[in-house]
Chains A and B, each alone.
Chain A
Amino acid sequence: MLYRECGNYKDTYAKDMAIFPIPFDRWGLGVMLVLAFLVIPFTTSDYWLSSIMIPFYCFSLAALGLNFLTGYAGQVSLGHAAFMAVGAYASLILYSRFHVPLLLSILGGGIVSSAVGPVFGIPSLRIKGFYLAVSTLAAQFIIEWILTHWKWVSGGVFGTIDAPDLYVFGWILDTPAKKYYLVLCILVLLVVFGKNLVRGQLGRNWMAIRDMDVAAEVIGVSLFRNKLIAFAVSSFYAGVAGAMVTMAYYGAANIEEFNLVLSFHLLGAIIIGGMGTVLGSFFGAGFMILMPIFINQALLVFLERVPSDLRANSEAIVFGGLIVFFLIVEPYGMARLWHTIKDKMRLWPFPY
C-alpha cells in the first residue's frame, strides 16, 4: 500500500474539493517542490540548468496554456508559437525600450498576447475541429509576418532583438541559477492559478463546451464568453512562456524560434502528455525536450563510429518511434498512464 486513499475521511466539502485531497499526493508534490527549489539548483551543472531545466519549465508553461485551450476547452490551436512570439517581443520591448521592471514586462508580454489571442479565437464561435485548426494556422502566419515586417517591433527583416541584462528589484540575474529561480517562481505561481481555474466553474464550463457544446449552451454556459476567455488565458500563458524563454533561455527574441514547427511540438506535447490535465503538460514538455537529449546520449554510446548526420537522423527516427509507441500504449497520454500506475499502487503488493 504505497498509495493510500483509505482512512482519509473528508468531513467538509472544502476538504473534498482540495486540489490534492489525498495526503500522499500532497507529500509527493512537496518532495517535487523541494527538489525543484533546493536540490536541482545546487546539484546540477550550469549546462543542465540553462539548457535543460529552464527550457523545460518554459515550454511546460506554454504547453499548459495550449492545454487550457485544446485539452480543456476543446478548441484546437496551431498558432501557439505565434502567441509565444507576441509575448516575447512585447515583453522585450517593454523591458528594453520602455524600462518597465522585469517582472512587469513579463506580465505585460502575457497581457499583450492575451489581447491578441481572442482576436484569432473569434472564428471558434462559428467553426470547430479541423476548420478551426486551419484558421488558427492563419494566426501563426499573420503574426510571424507582422513581426518580421513591422520594423518598429523587430528592428528589420531578421526579426531579432537582443535581451539586455536582467534585473529584478535592482538585483542582476547573471547566473543560470538565478534565471532558473525566476522561471521557476513564475511557473509555480501560474500553475497554481491555472489549476484553480480549471477545477473551478470556469474549467467545468470549458470541459462542458469541449464535451457537448450545444448541451452546454442550453444548460446556461455562454459559448462566446467562455471560448474567448479560454483563448485569452491560453495565449496569456503562451505569452509569459514566450517572454521567459526569450529572456532566460535564448537571450534574444528571434522569430525563427517561434515557427510553425514549435506550434506542432506544443500540440504534440499535450497529446503525448495528456489532454485536459495539468500534469500532462509537464509530461509532454518533458518528453519533447528531455527525450531527444537522452536518445542522443544513448546513441552516442552505441553508434560511436557512425557519422554524425546519420546519428541525427536516427535520433529523429527513435523519437518518432517512441511517440507512436506511447500513443499506442496509452492513447490518452502519459498523465493517464500515471493514473493507471497510481491505481495499481493502491493495492500493491496485494491486489485482492
Chain B
Amino acid sequence: MNQKTEPLLRVEDIHISFGGLKALNGVSLEVYPGEIMAIIGPNGAGKTTMLNIINGVYTPDQGRIFFEGTERPLKMKPHNVAAMGISRTFQNLALFKGMDTWCNIMVGRTQKMHSNFFSQGVYWGTSQKEEIEHREAVEWIIDFLEIENIRKQPVGMLPYGLQKRVELGRALASEPKLLLLDEPMAGMNLEEKEDIARFILDTNEEIGYTIALIEHDMGVVMDICDRIAVLDFGNKIAEGTPEEIKSNPKVIKAYLGEAEQA
C-alpha cells in the first residue's frame, strides 16, 4: 500500500467519554483508498465506538474528521454521513426483520432514490422506472453474494450466517466509498467465516471498495487485511502491516498479559 497517497478517511485525536469512562483517548486513524484495514483490540477497547463516531451516531468531545480530504463537522446526522458515502454493518445483527431480503437490500439504496411522494403513490412514470432500475442493482448484489434463493424470504427466519450476508448486501447497496464492517464474522463457524472472507476480498478486489473492519478472529485479520490498527483501553497502541503487528510487544502484552517477572 502506498502510504503517500491522500487517505480516504482520517480521524485525528478523537476523544470521547461516557460519564466518567474515557472510551477513546486521543485516537488517530487513517484509511487509505483501496485497502482493507482492520481495527483490533480486546473487548471494551473502543473499536465500535470509533465506528459509531465515524458514522455520526456519537459526537466526539474533541477531534477532527476528514473524509476525502475535506473536514466534516463532528456533529452530523448519520443519514448525512451515509450520503457522503460511508456505509456500515453492525456487530449485533441490525436487519429489518419484518421485511424480505430484497427489501432490506433495497433500503440500502434509499439515498439514491429521488422520485417524489406523489409519483410514488401513483406508481407511474419516474417512480416505477426508478424502482425497476434499483431493483436491478439490488439483484446484482443478490447475485454477487449468492443469496438468490432467499431473495423473497423474511430475513427474521434466516440462519445467522445468511443474515450477516444480507446485512453486508444492504451495506453494499449504497455503493459506498468506505465500507465499515463491525465484526462481520462474529459467531460463525469456519465455513461461514470462509464465505464471508471471500465476499470481503471480492468486494475489495472486484468492486474496489475501501473497507475498514473490526474482527476478533486473528487468523482472518492477518490473512485478508493490508493494515491493522490496535486499540486498547481507548488508546491506539500499534499500527502496521500484519507482520509488524504480530511481533509488536505492546500488542502481545495487551492480548496475553505481561510476562511475569521472576
Contact = CB atoms under 8 A, between A and B. Distances in A.
Contact of B88 (A218, A223, A224): A218
B96 A14 contact: no
Given A217-B78, A219-B170, A223-B79, A208 B107 contact: yes
Given A13-B135, A196-B123, A219 B108 contact: yes
A14 B128 contact: yes
B110 A205 contact: yes
Nearest to A276: B98
A214 B94 contact: yes
Contact of A212 (B77, B81, B96, B127): B96
Interface stretch (B34-42, B60-68, B114-122, B195-203): B114-122
Contacts of A207: 96, 98-99, 103
Interface residues of B, number: 41
B121 A220 contact: no
B48 to A, nearest CB: 12
Interface in B46-64: 55-57
Interface in A244-258: none
Contacts of A222: 77, 79
A223 B103 CA distance: 18
Interface in A216-230: 216-224, 229
Contacts of B106: 201, 204
B174 A220 contact: yes
A58 B96 CA distance: 32
A205 B131 CA distance: 14
A164 interface: no
Contacts of A229: 117
A150 B135 CA distance: 51
Contact of A221 (B79, B115, B136): B79
A214 B127 CA distance: 27
Given A14-B128, A200-B120, A205-B107, A217 B77 contact: yes
B57 A211 contact: no
A223 B79 CA distance: 8
A261 interface: no
A193 B118 CA distance: 9
Nearest to B56: A218
Given A200-B123, A218-B88, A220-B108, A208 B99 contact: yes
A193 B95 contact: no
By CB atoms of chain B within 10 A, which of A200, A220, A222, A223 has the most? Answer: A220
Contacts of B79: 217-223
A219 B113 CA distance: 13
A126 B132 CA distance: 35
Contacts of B77: 217, 222, 224
Interface string B72-101: 000001110111000110100011111100
B171 A215 contact: no
Contacts of A211: 95-99
A87 interface: no
B17 interface: no
A215 B96 contact: yes
Interface string A194-206: 1011001110110
By CB atoms of chain A within 10 A, which of B56, B123, B139, B174 has the most? Answer: B123
Interface in B142-174: 170-171, 174
Contacts of A202: 117, 120
A67 to B, nearest CB: 13
A217 B107 CA distance: 10
A196 B87 contact: no
A200 to B, nearest CB: 4
Contacts of A205: 107, 110
A294 B171 CA distance: 51
A212 B57 CA distance: 14
A200 B88 CA distance: 23
B9 to A, nearest CB: 15
A221 B83 CA distance: 10
Contacts of B131: 13, 17, 200-201
Nearest to B173: A219
B43 interface: no
A219 B121 contact: no
Interface in B123-137: 123, 127-128, 131-132, 135-136
By CB atoms of chain A within 10 A, which of B57, B95, B110, B111 has the most? Answer: B110
A149 interface: no
Given A219-B79, A221-B110, 18 more contacts: A14-B128, A16-B135, A196-B122, A197-B121, A200-B127, A207-B96, A207-B99, A207-B103, A208-B99, A211-B97, A212-B96, A215-B94, A217-B77, A217-B79, A219-B82, A219-B174, A220-B111, A222-B79
Give the 5 A-B CB pairs with smallest separation, nearest first: A220-B82, A215-B94, A211-B96, A196-B123, A220-B111
9 contacts: A13-B131, A13-B135, A16-B135, A193-B121, A196-B123, A201-B113, A211-B96, A216-B107, A221-B107
